[in-house]
Amino acid sequence: MQSASDIFGWTRGPTGNDFYVRQLRDQKFYIDLATMSKRGLVAYAKLCGQTLARAHAKSGKALEISTYLGSGSHFDDAITDYAATYADLVQKDYDAFHAAVRAGRFPTETSSSEIETPSDRVNKRKQT
């Protein structure tokens, strides 16, 4: 989410359809969540939350959202429960996927312990 528009924007295609064009990935930096410390992950989560809040505040609907959520902890509790339940589901899905990879149902190019960063891909391209 971004708080200001990028250099692209709205355009109309030759058939009359409207499109919003923007840069998908600028890869200014890379966060390796797999090796991040607990403290780092908490800081990263806070930053993501602040970014989401800022984007919503820029939408012009900050007062409506704040009023809707209220001052109690009901929303906080509900979103926490949802996130924990969803995390459990994602872990279960990943475990099933990982078992399928080990069983050979999905061919892989790298082992499950390797993590490839954007700079790794650039370096591999330079070597070939």
Q: Work out the percent of the chain whose per-residue pLDDT is above 90.
A: 23
Residue 128 has pLDDT above 80, yes or no: no
Q: Which burial class, exposed, middle or buried, applies to 56 when counting CB atoms under 10 A from its CB (0-12, 13-18, 19+)? A: middle
Per-residue pLDDT of 42-55, as tens digits, reads: 999 998 888 888 77
Mean pLDDT for 19-23 is: 73
Q: What are phi and psi of 112, to 5 degrees?
A: -65, -15
Residue 27, pLDDT score = 62
pLDDT-derived band of residue 64, with 50, 70 and 90 as boundaries? confident
Chain segment 71-91, per-residue pLDDT in tens: 888 888 998 999 999 999 999
Quick check: 117 and 124 in contact, CB under 8 A?
Answer: no
